Structure formats: C-alpha cells, structure tokens
Amino acid sequence: MLYVLLALGLVAGFLSGLIGIGGGIIIVPVLVYMLHMDQKMAQGTTLFMFMLPIGILGVYNYYKAGQVDFKSALIISITFILGSYLGSKTALTIDTKIVKQIFAVAIILVGIKMLWGK
C-alpha cells in the first residue's frame, strides 16, 4: 500500500504540474479502485492532501515563467474553500453510489468537452 501511495503522489504531482490534473481525476479513482477506499473516504483524503502545500514548487516554476494569475487564483482559492465545505456537506448526506455516479459523469463530460470541444 505504501508503494502505491508513493507512486500515486508522484504521478499525480507530475500530471498536475504537466497538464493541471491530479486530485480528482487521478487520485480519487486510484484510492477507490486500487486501495479499495469508499468514494467518500477517497474524496475526504484527497481534500486533506490539498491542505498541504502540494503545489508550491510547481507554482514557483509557473511563476518564474510569468504564468500565474494571482488575482484569479486568490478568488478561486477563497471560493474553493466555501465550495468544498458545501460540497462535502452535500456528499455526506447522499448515498455513496450516487456520489460515485456523479463523479463518473463529471469526468466523462469534461473528457468529452476537452476531446471534441473548441
């Protein structure tokens, strides 16, 4: 299990730095399907991971290249806090199977949009 977690962090961090994905799209499914976590446990674990300064070195590289919009990032960060609170409260009140289905539909829709959208 430790090696899976170590590899997961490395791969998700790499993909986050490379193309901006990692938390939900990579980490949650691995926790659910490889480590057999409940969907809600995987989501809570991933949110906890976000509390740590996981992207500081990646952000630094983008900052040096002039590729960080601090105003937008601050606005998103503040509203993300509120959104994650409300989303977690909602997720914890509905059946885990429904949460998993919502998650799957969201990933599919984003994938379709990115694959065939403009």
Percent of the residues in the chain that have a pLDDT greater than 70, as a whole number: 99
pTM score, whole prediction: 0.72
Residue pair 110/102 in contact by the 8 Å Cβ criterion: no
Cα separation, 43 vs 29, in Å, equals: 9
- pLDDT tier at 92, thresholds 50, 70, 90: very high
The single-letter code of the amino acid at 92 is L
How far is CA 44 from each of CA 62, 82, 87, 89, 108, rounded to the nearest angstrom?
28, 15, 11, 11, 21
Which residue shows structure tokens 């991971």? 49
- pLDDT tier at 47, thresholds 50, 70, 90: confident
**55 vs 1, more confident:** 1
Residue 55 has pLDDT above 90, yes or no: no
